[in-house]
Amino acid sequence: MKKYYLLVICLGAVFNALATQNTTEELVSFKEKINHAIVKFEQTKREHWSYTVSRYEDEEGDITSSIEQYSPQSSEGWFLKQINGQQPTKKQTKAFAKKKNKQSNKTKQENNIQLSLRELINQQSLSLISTDDKHIVMAFDVDWKKLGKDSIGKLQGKLRYQKEKQFIEKISIWNNAEFSPMFTAKITDLAVTFTFLQINEAVLSKQYEMRMKGTFAYFTEINETSLDSFSDYLYKAN
């Protein structure tokens, strides 16, 4: 009987070791897939795509909206189609073009990557939440320099990887503690969502949403919602 129990214990230890090994190998494989998806995003030449973006912003009840169009073959690049539900005036169109040209010049200096997934996603911290035939869902730590040093350790992230087309389909970020992105500013609630789509091998933005609450200069309330939706993608070769 003692020999039987000893055999059971030994077999249990072997099975546990094998299960741990398989889990570790699976996690390594998933991490490799995520890194490949990040490389795919980095290699997408977004400057060759024309598209339309619909923007909505609510700052403490002050609501603004616009519909903008980008065309890489146009000398202006950006065109303002609508602002706050109305056709823009010449003055608004001129101011918009000036603002966009300034932003475009800055983007070129940053190698055309406005959103760095490699910076956003701490790949070493990736852990598995769930997996099925279509998706892999993983959690990760967020080190987003844009939100300041005080945000480090106070942000969590989750991503959804689409297995068939092998790209990151969605990223969600939220805070688990209050943080200060700059002097006199405190963020109590933050929720950011990025969704993407893939056309051929190009990974492009589908939607960006941010909800943020807090205070600025101790007394001014921060209560912002912004939503950018991208559509009508068309590749424009040089």
Q: How many residues does the chain have?
A: 238
Contact, 212 vs 189, CB < 8 A?
yes
Q: What are the beta bridge partners of residue 220? A: 216
Contact, 160 vs 137, CB < 8 A?
yes
Query: Would you state the pLDDT for residue 76?
Result: 77
Contact, 198 vs 204, CB < 8 A?
yes
- Between CA 143 and CA 120 the distance in angstroms is 6
Contact, 140 vs 159, CB < 8 A?
yes
Query: Would you state the pLDDT for residue 128?
Result: 95
- Between CA 28 and CA 172 the distance in angstroms is 22
**Residue reference for tokens 């987003």:** 144
Query: Would you state the pLDDT for residue 112?
Result: 41
Query: Would you state the pLDDT for residue 159?
Result: 98
- Between CA 188 and CA 221 the distance in angstroms is 11
| Domain spans, the chain | 2-44+116-229, 51-108
The pair of structure tokens assigned to 91 is: 């003055």
Beta strands in the chain (DSSP E): 49-59, 62-70, 78-83, 127-131, 135-141, 155-162, 167-175, 185-199, 202-216, 220-235
Query: Would you state the pLDDT for residue 143?
Result: 82
For the chain (length 238 residues), average pLDDT per consecutive 10? 52 46 79 96 91 95 95 85 94 88 61 71 94 96 85 94 97 95 89 96 96 86 95 87
Query: Would you state the pLDDT for residue 106?
Result: 61
- Between CA 30 and CA 127 the distance in angstroms is 9
- Residue 62: CB atoms within 10 A of its CB come to 8
CA atoms lying within 13 Å on the CB side of residue 59: 5
Sheet order of strands, 220-235 included: 78-83, 62-70, 49-59, 220-235, 202-216, 185-199, 167-175, 155-162, 135-141, 127-131
Query: Would you state the pLDDT for residue 182?
Result: 83
Query: Would you state the pLDDT for residue 147?
Result: 85
